[in-house]
Copies of this chain bind each other. A is one copy, B any other.
């Protein structure tokens, strides 16, 4: 079984130095996020993650879930852990105080959720749904609905789900068929089947609140005909307590490669007269609500990339320090741990560099979310909202791809022991494989980035971001960090050239979209380079003031250098591919495959 220790020092450094915790704690509504409180929260979360959730991760993987009739049985220990998690108030950490949450900024909840996902992703997917559903209901629900449902969802007394996918409607929600027919008293009866519903059924809570995309009888076809419904597992009685069972059945659970502890359900609605539900928001606007939630959900999956990568890194580092094998390549000395081998050291430093780049990007983006939501200055808020919109496909698409790579590399460090299940690192690799798929595949993220986020506005926000890159590079240039400045300027130039090329080829739709994923990787690496440059800048500044452990700070500067040496060159390769591949691809006939 793998230990997990929350990387508090790294998290805190990024919060303080890169994501601007101090500044965000001054925003209206964020005043609770004092330095002391935040440190205390992180420390407590770290203890809970290591002590309660992490040890259950293997249990969840080995036992998995099972369907008995219509009952879903989750792994041993899930109930006790959930009760503790709920009672400790973790679910409401960043949720609205008016419904019982603590209202802390997203910048604080981001590292906390990273810990939950590192410790036990299959478990943490359950309370994560409460967060997502709260966001959706805050956007679209009526005041009465909020009063009825939100307190129980925010506290975790009841569980939550999202019901989007149907067999013919995966990435393509336009193909949704689930029907909702109005009843005489203003409610609806739902009929149809949803698949891939995480925690669609279980008995961990006395009720489950499903949010379901469905079509009203008068719905226009396609995505403009989707409405959102709240459909509880148990209808509420006069006292607001769970009463009669609704007409929803779990008819199957998936046998998956990973996240075995999270039941993935097929739910059948309305086999016995219709599942009673309530319209959330206006008719036919369900997808708009979903889209607002989407940034939130995608951000969280990006965090899963860091989280699984971090745990894989910790495991690989521990193994590399303890496993003795071979001789030192320079001294010929025997009896050294494999961390002394240059290739193993390369893998571990590379893992740490990519982790820090991703974490810095995600926490920085979390801060942008907070500024966008709370900043009193409309212009400042708007800029950060645009940054969030632009980079969310990168945060999701790139961090999940890299997260997978890290889990893969951890297995490589373990060698044969990584391929056997007992060491636990194989589970991380299997669990991670879903994150580039759910909440929109990498291809979907890349299309979103290219079309809606760049082409639609002719790259305007991306040009603003590039100006920020150059500002960081200039700051580095004024220190003794000219090599890092140069590497970042290179990335800025590459991005500028890339936008120019995209705009010049705007009409060649198929050709451009063939390069969407290389573009996403390119921008991910460029953002990673920027964040590592910021990290080095902050570390160097702290070194100058003598504030902090000098070895640690110097290590961060060297880590940034390693990132520039190993990751940054790949951005240019992706740029080359972007410009060249689409042309060949459009000529390529499907029959030639």
Contacts and interface: CB of A to CB of B under 8 A. Distances in A.
Contact of A565 (B412, B420, B584, B592): B584
Contact of A572 (B345, B433, B569, B581): B569
A341 interface: yes
Contacts of A175: 325
Nearest to A254: B420
A415 B438 CA distance: 8
Interface stretch (A33-41, A146-154, A374-382, A555-563): A555-563
Interface in A320-364: 324-327, 329-330, 334, 339-349, 352
A421 B256 contact: yes
A345 B419 contact: no
A143 interface: no
A343 B411 CA distance: 29
A13 to B, nearest CB: 13
Given A345-B585, A554-B592, A325 B171 contact: yes
Contact of A555 (B327, B442, B583, B592): B592
Contact of A345 (B348, B514, B565): B514
A350 to B, nearest CB: 8
A447 B347 CA distance: 14
Contacts of A256: 419-421
A309 to B, nearest CB: 14
Contacts of A411: 433, 437
Among A170, A509, A518, A573, which residue has the most Cβ atoms of chain B within 10 A?
A573
Assign chain A's interface to a size class. Answer: 35 or more
A592 B412 contact: no
A593 interface: yes
Nearest to A440: B415
Nearest to A512: B342
A551 B346 contact: no
Interface stretch (A88-96, A288-296, A422-430, A469-477): A422-430
Interface of A: 165, 168, 170-172, 174-175, 196, 254-258, 264, 317, 324-327, 329-330, 334, 339-349, 352, 404, 408, 411-412, 415-416, 418-422, 426, 429-430, 433-434, 436-438, 441-443, 446-447, 509-511, 513-518, 551-552, 554-555, 558-559, 561-562, 564-566, 569-570, 572-574, 576-577, 580-593
